[in-house]
Structure 1
């Protein structure tokens, strides 16, 4: 860390043989950034444009994909700048900003997945009450809570409760901070996860007792959400076990896992929803056909 002129910088040393593979890094990351923005934005635009996609389930999907666009926009420009620069540094305040936005959006993802599971639960288990429960007002409330609640909770300890690299240099270790960290983890990740598991268990039980049509509807609409949930939960587990608990993990392996988080997951969501959600897939095929015809 450099404290000249009262400006604090943090040196980033996660890149493996950057001088040797600088061009390769840049091409891969720039291509990934464009693919993530285009794939997520395309499905969001399809949902906005087509009126038959103006349903709660698709609105939550659009919000989830918008999360990915915001996440990559916070992360990728800095990565691309690091690749082309000789020194990989970041100011302490910019690092905290990245931490705050990324973890807030990560928490929002759990809440949005919980909102999706609730929407599917009401749709399949209480179909007659669905129009009165999933109103526009309730959808707006769920979206606001999904974004505001994690952001407000991470705003409280920002600058104190931070990632392990900053923690060693700047943070104050105390029982209160540890308890608050556990509280945030439980409130932002564990409780939504338990709620999701409860709703999908109920859906599974009711679908099993129902007719084939209900089972097919449950499979078609719930499977993509479950795949995204499992995928995202694995990355959160990695972050908690390896990063937060400072496990002895090789530098190259950490880089690969980090690339999985910032590369694989933002691309995984639009692919899953674009292929597995029947109505979105239909509009996506029409769009691709029009592009090819021109």
Structure 2
């Protein structure tokens, strides 16, 4: 570890009183991880196996849940290993890979939500053109762009970070992320900082503006139509973003997505009920979900 070229390991020091609460942390984290995998997988399987749900709205939901599984895979396995290890260390290049995957997950959330906002905008504001504007070929292109852009943006960021010389080897984090790795460098990080600001401004901020604009247009159309139209339109929109922004970034993102979409989207909920229902004589027992 005399110089940056020979450094192979970084130490993660973001854990609080790990020796005292090691197994408590592990059990909580493991439970959350299992719930994330199970809940997301159930909704994805329901959408995949029901041809009736092979529509853009539900395909975007499945894509968002797949992205959640990707993000959870990037974070939880290494975190669980660290919780049971005496030393919380990671290889430098493994750290960059984890940061790359986590940033792709975060950026793809925004691009997928933008695509979902466009889907709802066309469905509600231009219903007669919906089948034309969102053909299966267009849907595939949108999904490709939703992951291609984050991969491209973050590839440049990680390459810029990997070229920096290291002079510190301790991360005050429980996982790797690009900005924290940059702070370990003793070189000039101005290019990295400018690029990070550019990506945030252009990619994240523009996606948020597009989502807000789309829903302003949707609300304007709803206000000009009947109460029944507003109810049906908002019922399909609320699970997509309003619940998302209040819950998604404040608690546990991959865990609440399947709950929000599974319980709020009537067609998905109905098929989940069928999946977990069973017959006992002449009685049929369903999971006690409330359908609104």
Q: Which moved more, 1:41-50 or 1:226-235?
A: 226-235
Which residues of structure 2 form unaligned runs of 5+?
162-176, 287-292
Deviations 1:133-167 (A, max 9, x none): 11000000000000001101110121434634322
Q: Distance in 2 between matches of 1:210 and 1:5?
A: 65
Q: CA RMSD in A?
A: 2.3
Alpha-carbon deviation of 1:132?
Answer: 0.5
What number of residue pairs does the alignment pair up?
Answer: 267
Relative to structure 1, the CA distance from residue 133 to residue 164 in structure 2 (aligned partners, 3 Å threshold; closer, same or farther) is closer
Structure 1 or 2: more helix by fraction:
1
1:202 pairs with one of 208, 217, 227: 217
**What is the TM-score with the length of structure 1 in the denominator?**
0.85
Q: Which whole-Å CA distance do the structure 2 matches of 1:192 and 1:183 have between them?
A: 13
**Does the 8 Å CA contact 1:159/1:171 hold for their aligned counterparts?**
no
Three-state SS of the structure 2 residue aligned to 1:160 is helix
Give the superposition deviation at 1:51: 1.1
* 1:231–1:265 Cα contact (<8 Å) kept: no
Residue segments in structure 1 that go unaligned for 5+ positions in a row = 236-259
Find the counterpart in structure 1 of residue 24 from structure 2.
Answer: 24
1:228, distance to aligned residue in structure 2 (A): 4.6
User: Which 10-residue stretch deviates more, 193-202 or 24-33?
Assistant: 24-33
After superposition, what is the alpha-carbon deviation per residue over 1:112-147, rounded to whole angstroms, capped at 9, x for unaligned?
101111000100010000010110000000000000
SS at match of 2:90: strand
Partner of 1:15, secondary structure, is coil
Matched, 1:278 2:266: yes
Which of 277, 283, 290 does residue 289 from structure 1 map onto?
277
Give the superposition deviation at 1:171: 6.3
State the alpha-carbon separation in 2 of the partners of residues 225 and 72 from structure 1. Answer: 20
- TM-score computed with the length of structure 2 as normaliser: 0.85
